[in-house]
Chains A and B, each alone.
Chain A
């Protein structure tokens, strides 16, 4: 079945460390997104990409970086510049940016904790 795979499910980061969250999709979708979820705050957009080798900042991009070298993959790096990284991170995709009217497909998320 087609879908989005996020790994790992749980991730622990030490202070000053960079960590990378994986997101892979086999839906043949062009557009991919990263969201951060904190209790009571809904979902906030970190980065999005509509095509390979192109990505745009969302509302809370500071302290994060992404790459889109393959259509299927959109990894998110949480850098040491992100001062409060503990959160639940969700990857999503849509057929294209213009097809967001059809809704998103989400992965099952990665919970990142600073230790």
Chain B
């Protein structure tokens, strides 16, 4: 069975600093991987996805993520955080057969 873990419930970074949000998955083969962002009281928006090819994936809003098979990770990064990036971020995994599994989310706070 597939599973996904986001070890950090809450992260605080200063505006302009770099960001890395962690995501670890459990699945025997290479799964499909996603990052979504959710602003308060809103739905989720797809930031980026990976299912094959280049392990460094570029997404919207200046985000990128790197798939590392050896570490079963798909961490989300941004070189310089803006105050508007404050939101909750969800990693998700899909094996291709069953349901999509979402992580429990990481809340990002950006301080001036």
The chain A residues found within 8 Å of chain B, CB to CB, are 4, 6, 40-43, 45, 48, 58-59, 90, 92, 100-109, 111
Interface contact B99-A45, CB-CB below 8 Å? yes
A4 to B42, CA, bound (A): 12
A106 to B94, CA, bound (A): 17
- Min CB distance A97 to B, Å, is 10
Tell me which of B34, B42, B46, B102 contacts A42 (CB under 8 A): B102
Interface contact A101-B49, CB-CB below 8 Å? yes
Interface contact B96-A101, CB-CB below 8 Å? yes
Given contacts A40-B9, A92-B44, list 8 more A-B pairs with CB under 8 A: A40-B104, A40-B105, A42-B90, A48-B99, A101-B49, A101-B51, A109-B42, A109-B43
* Chain A contacts for B34, CB-based, 8 A: 103
Q: Which partner residue on chain A sits nearest B105 by CB separation?
A: A42
Interface contact A104-B49, CB-CB below 8 Å? no
Tell me which of A4, A41, A108 contacts B104 (CB under 8 A): A41
A90 to B100, CA, bound (A): 14
Interface contact B43-A42, CB-CB below 8 Å? no
| CB of B45 closer than 8 Å to a CB of A | yes
A42 to B43, CA, bound (A): 13
Q: Which partner residue on chain A sits nearest B39 by CB separation?
A: A108
Given known contacts A40-B9, A40-B104, A103 and B46 CB-to-CB distance under 8 angstroms: yes
The 6 closest A-B pairs by CB, nearest first: A106-B43, A103-B46, A43-B102, A42-B104, A42-B102, A106-B44
- Min CB distance A31 to B, Å, is 11
A100 to B99, CA, bound (A): 9
Contact with A along B83-110 (1 / 0, CB 8 A): 0000000100010100110111100000
A100 to B41, CA, bound (A): 24
Tell me which of A6, A41, A59, A101 contacts B94 (CB under 8 A): A101
| CB of B32 closer than 8 Å to a CB of A | yes
